[in-house]
Amino acid sequence: MASSLLEAVDIKAPVAVSWSLWQDVERWPAFLSHVEQVRRVDANTFSWRLSLPGADKSFVAELTEVVPQERIAWRTTEGVHHAGVVTFHRLSDTESRVTLQIEYDPAGFVEHLGALTNLDSALANYDLGRFQQMAEHEAGRH
């Protein structure tokens, strides 16, 4: 039985600004609080490391869909299985909504990471607030 996490945030910044921050996977650690490092392997593959106590926290993922200024989707190919998608919605010329959805298998997380690492709560607390601040700051500079 898969679990999914859905978070949305409205940002006082155009879609283009929100998109530009997300489309470079290596910038994700700047605003995703549990992501320590993301390294691009090739055009569609990247490895990332989570900053959680104990256990194996590295993943290799591939981008499964990239539609400029609309959506970015990925799924893991190594490490604990999960898949995610970020979608970008234009609210007005100066506002956008960013939605993050992650599908994961809780049993697999516990199996691979051990019950004590609390990855469930880490995912549940994925923080788009930092992203909102960054995007609004970027928008304010333009």
For 46-88, the pLDDT digits (tens) are: 998 877 665 557 889 999 999 999 999 999 998 777 899 999 9
The domain in which residue 104 lies consists of 3-141
d(CA 42, CA 7): 28
CATH of the domain at 98: 3.30.530.20
CB atoms within 10 A of CB 15: 22
Q: How many domains does the chain have?
A: 1
Tell me the per-residue pLDDT of 2-42, one tens digit each, with 9 for 90 and over: 777 788 899 999 999 999 998 988 988 888 777 888 999 99
